[in-house]
Structure 1
Amino acid sequence: MTTNLKLRQFVVVVFFSSISLLPISTLSFSADSPTDRRILVLLDDVSLKSSHSIFFSSLQSRGFELDFKLADDPKLTLQRYGQYLYDGLILFAPTTERFGGSLDLAAVLNFVDSGHDVIVAADANASDLIRNIASECGVNFDEDSSAVVIDHTSYAVSETEGDHTLIASDTLIESEVILGKKKIEAPILFKGIGHSLNAKNNLVFKVLSASSTAYSADPNSKLSHPPSLDGSTISLVSVLQARNNARVLICGSLEMFSNQLLRAGVQKAGQSKKHAKSGNELFVIELSKWVFHERGHLKAVNARHHKIGESDEPAIYRINDDLEYSVEIYEWSGTNWEPYVANDVQVQFYMMSPYVLKTLSTNEKGLYHTSFKVPDVYGVFQFKVEYQKLGYTSLSLSKQIPVRPFRHNEYERFITTAFPYYGASFSTMLGFFIFSIVYLYSK
């Protein structure tokens, strides 16, 4: 008995000791602080930590905790005891054929399916593993492993004439929520492989595109056949926002994040203006803010409905009741929640199909509201708010409420539209009375 008791005590102590060794941030993520996160950074080479230090420093300065590891570390794992240890993943390991530890393709995809964010950077030596991760996210890199993006028109001018593989692109998506309000004046330097988007995947979209004169080919050999990717169909940087609001950034250039290109001056071919600094730093920093939910993250709270003139939510409505619906929507600014202001938020009063569709008015302090009349149909309805907008996390709210018809004693005693029928009834009765008198008292 004493031995068994001591053994149980030992197991309990070991269990709680192992829990105490878990990173504190495993429990820190919450909807109230979407950016309170710990990020795992996987590298091909330790030297990338210093060669890409500006990008990493920008993340750390914004409060992210980075855990740097080699991609083939045998102790790699994303979760322990059913809990994810990280809320974000950065894959700066394009040549890795196989991750170490328990990390593999399925683990990365499950990480995204669980609502976590990923940044994937590839290059001309991208492995099948990295290509498969991108493919599962709706991005297809050029199948030719030796092909890179070449542009003889929109390239970066240098002192020595090169092979025009250093692209200077300024074809950006027009979205403040994704790229921020600061305008990127200088072209963005890109050197790497291009990709196309899966036409069947409507969740992935381009952020940085190549020009119409670009094509994907091996710069060290002559073209023997038309390139598989060419023109503005080539995407250089793409992003995916999954239905669970997880965000994935896929870039064909690891070098685009390097200190060298972030600090480099740039002059686009055909332009006389030379910029002292490329637009890379502003581009990757602002884009990383979107990927890690520092911008474009919405939450909806306090969804309420009640009859006009009342304040309590009823358990049931009656047909033709006048009601009011309201909800509060806020956007995360990176440090706190701020009122979200838009004029395209709608609510549906729904049963099999929407019977009422109303655009919500806003007081520009986060409150959205509207009023309408319950339709003359009884059954089980839902208040539904389905809000989807490019760059923003989607909102899906629903509240169920039954609607009953009038009771027998709630109808009006005399209905105006029935007056002709009332007249016909009384005139028939009067006519029968007169007929009876005439028939009985006349010879």
Structure 2
Amino acid sequence: MPSRDVAVTGLGLVTPAGIGVESTWSTVLSGRSTTTLDPVLAGNPVQISCRVPGFDPAAHLGARRAHRLDPFVQYAIVATREALTDARLSPGEWESARVGVVLGCALGGTATFEKEHRSHLDHGPERVSPLVLPMHLSNMLSGQIGIEFGARGPNLVVSTACASATTAIGLARDLLLLDRCDVVITGGSEACLTPLVMAGFAQMGALSRRNHDPASASRPFDEDRDGFVGGEGAGILVLERTRDAAARRVPVRARVVGYGASADAHHMTASHPEGRGIRAALGSALADADAAPREIDHVNAHGTSTPMNDAIEAAALSSMLPHRPWVTSTKGVTGHLFGAAGGVEAALTILTMVHGEVPPTANLARLDPAVDLAVPQKATPAQVRLAVSTSVGFGGQNAALVLASG
């Protein structure tokens, strides 16, 4: 049987923790929250968020190019550049028809859509930009990456809500194993910290209300958690078949050895109370990796900081991984990046293996007594050979990856 694992040869990150892999990893490892008051959300019931710091679109992309792209695409282009450099791939030298793009995104260009909708209401249809749809549509995320880097293979965006990027990575792996591509750019990107979107989440009761204390608002698995904090950014991985990476003699950061997905078929926003879908996705990923539960050294959990999600996920993880591997949620630092979360968290899981250090869960002052997990409160040295990254989305969509050290 041919190997079912694929190599991760490149990583790129644009997150609230920093622009670039090194900056993001340093902040995540420090356990410093990036949540601040957000002037864009002034007047909303929740006025805090985790934004990418100091991002200058014109400096990264040129003024004309930046003007024609919504931030969710801008972030992805910058992260993809870093990932391709890391993978030692030059778009001018590859067989472009064999390079695929599979990215996750939940909401698309909401900033553009809200801006142009306001223009329509205030000034009429003649003032609406002809770019509103090309900038807003979710599929333009992968489309623009294909244009920017000359990738002419399969090109698609996956939308499974907050599981989108993890689903995308699983499908990207499938394309390689089916020999449809030789290289796939995957992960996810999101930039939906707009008044309308965040008002919607607030009205659902999903967001932390700690406007008075932003830095402590995102606190996964903590007894006093009261909701998530919205974030933005992109996490990009370059995948190749392991044998192709070996032939190119490039370093392999990690391997994607297992993928599982499931649907709760239960509720449009709440996970099944017994975590059936999370368990099914994780079980499928372990079986795909031919890995026993006891072999898992670390879990980067979905861990949103909502009372219900954290409790359900914790129960599922503790029942399936009773040997108590280190479990962390990096959303305490970055906030919840929605459709991009799985891409960023897969990259952070890989960095945990590379550096041999498990990041802390920020703001974890008192572990919820109902959470039977080993959750570090500070950066913890550990040898991580096999790790899991989990994601959960509205609609009951679940996805899990098993990642192995390179």
Q: Smaller-chain TM-score range?
A: under 0.3
User: Looking at CA atoms only, which structure, 1 or 2, has the larger radius of gyration?
Assistant: 1
Q: Which has the higher helix share?
A: 2
* TM-score, length basis structure 2: 0.26
Q: Which has the higher contact order (CA 8 A, sep 6+)?
A: 2
